[in-house]
Amino acid sequence: MRIIPAIDIIDGKCVRLTKGDYTTQKTYRDNPLDVAREFEDHGIRYLHLVDLDGARSQHIVNHHVLKQITSGTSLQVDFGGGMKSDEDVQIAFDNGAAQITAGSVAQQQPELFLQWLDRYGAEKIILGADSHHRMIATLGWQKQSEEDVVDFIAAYEQKGIRYVICTDIAKDGMLQGPSDELYREIISRSRIRLIASGGITSIADLQQLQAIGCEGAIIGKAIYEGHIRLHDLQTFISIGS
């Protein structure tokens, strides 16, 4: 299972939110590149970079941070937040993203999302499947649809998607453990490469996600708050390599 730390960006700084609520913003570091280099120094190979300004503005904003990290490290970065147009996606790839994650477009403009999937391929496009009480949420988690997350993923698997990041918003930033049962259900109904996100708090959580069959796990607040130390991830990192 791949270990994928997260860096969320507001005003060029490394922050975290709780349940996607911008009023809960906590700034951890002023320089995201320094954080990325620390991850790399501990053997991390992957990074989940989220442009929270972009998610709120509905267009890419912090592409300069993406460029700094991809130029200053060897991390493979998946980039999300504000992916609403062909131009946004091209900017992300031009600034070094290995993959992009899109959720709102996939729910609201499926034809455009499928064009990206066709143009760039299933190894480059990640489906963002973020949900609250199982219903897909979009626009930086500010809007909730009536579409079930498991059905949403299954439908896109039939259309060629391979990678999915699934976040249970109720778990995000709460440090109370991930949505194991939801991930079990998704994996039982599909063959996608599922990346779990939200609520991961301990090494035991990671071991459980690995046992369930998740392809990757995104860790955010647990690292910044010291619940998971980078050197404790060495076993997973060596296996995931």
Report the catalytic residues.
8, 130
Question: Strand 99-102 to strand 125-132: parallel, antiparallel, or no bridges (unpaired)?
Answer: parallel
Identity of the amino acid at 159: K
